[in-house]
Amino acid sequence: MNYKIVLCGVLLLAFSAQSLPTESGLRWINPIDIIVGTFKNVTSGITHSIASFENTTSEITHGVVTGIYNSTVKFYLYTAETRQTPQQLWIDDRVSLKSSDFQGLRKTVVVVHGFENDSKSNFTQMIKNALLKYEDVNVIAIDWSFFTKNPNYLWVVSETKSVGEFIGQFVDFLMNQTGLSPDHVHFIGHSIGAHASGFAGKYLKGQGKTVGRISGLDPAWPGFYTSGTDARLSSMDAKFVDCIHSCGGGLGYPTAICQADFFPNGGTHVQPGCPWYDFGVCSHGRSFDYYAESIDTTHLFESQTCNSVVDGVPYTCRNEGALMGYPASPEHLGVFYLTTQSASPYAKNIKATE
């Protein structure tokens, strides 16, 4: 059995159950107890090792995260020259940076995967391949799978802030060493990786280096649903923050939290072409399917500007030329609605190539 789907099902049911009313004579089980109970047997064997690691992970000196993040958060550089064979970079390692193909004058896109993934997963590779097919950019693929492949999701949530700050510290190192402009930095994060991207943006903003853009692809809802703007991705973490919501109210955030929030097909589970029985896994991934396709400039995800989108229903919409995905622009801010095809290509408007 695929325990990822089972885990996602537990999270989806638990966090959706929290709003159920209490009826006379019935006692509702705390959904957090369900999650903790589910993880208890899985994590009992690693409790002591996690505890020993946590003694070293929480060193924060003047806002700089140290400890085991140096060895467990990895940075892989992809360029047009190294698109299949990435070069690993290390924070504060000037030798590896100087000998790499990184160029400070290029735009730099930092790709941050989500729960249960790594830098070789579909999300990272699809985004990387599409970017390098159409643009001359530095792509930094983050691998924090030491954390995200731990089945204790709540522990991963608790580490997201520190990991995000460490990623921000690494980008700060790139800026200081290569002249990379904050305006030329774009974070693309999926699920819990969207929140890690937000924490990286917050860190850099605190250094006076607000980055140009953060794209949050179905930012995770479980573990962040009650969080304020300082504890999740927010509209203030970059000069432009755009989000795609594809499994809202389940695995993804159901409400607008960015400067531009796109709700394809209403933004809820189930997205067209996805099964209803997978607890939202397919719909959660549709956000990066749409985004990767949108990097092709002939595939246009034309969107309507709306006053609101509530429970998948758009209200008072109008056409103002907004595009979802990579070509999204700060010229179009607010809430947006669109429909897609049920299979690739997902865009409904595909321009003919000359």
Inter-residue contact 124 to 147 (CB < 8 Å): no
Hey, what amino acid is at 106? R
Nearest-CA neighbor of 39 among 191, 192, 157, 161? 157
Hey, what amino acid is at 312? G
Beta bridge partners of 186: 109, 213
- What values do phi and psi take at 84, rounded to 5? -110, -15
Q: For residue 64, what is the DSSP state? A: E
Long-range CB contacts for residues 341-345, cutoff 8 Å, separation at least 24: 341/272, 341/273, 342/272, 342/273, 343/273, 344/289, 344/293, 345/293, 345/299
Query: 331 Cβ partners below 8 Å, 6+ apart?
Result: none
Which H/E stretch holds residue 279?
A: none
Catalytic pick among 113, 186, 195, 284: 284
Sequence length of the chain is 354
Instruction: Mark whether 218 is an active-site residue.
Output: yes
Catalytic pick among 100, 119, 191, 234: 191
Inter-residue contact 41 to 189 (CB < 8 Å): no
Instruction: Mark whether 191 is an active-site residue.
Output: yes
Q: For residue 252, what is the DSSP state? A: B
Distance CA 236, CA 293 (A): 26
CA atoms within 13 A on the CB side of 270: 9
Task: List the helix and strand counts (H, then E) for the chain.
Answer: 10, 15
| Collapsed DSSP state (helix, strand, coil) of residue 320 | strand
**Could you tell me the two tokens for 179?**
């002249």
CB atoms within 10 A of CB 231: 17
Catalytic pick among 143, 172, 218, 296: 218
Instruction: Mark whether 118 is an active-site residue.
Output: no
Nearest-CA neighbor of 202 among 155, 169, 154? 169
Looking at the annotation, which residues are catalytic?
191, 218, 284
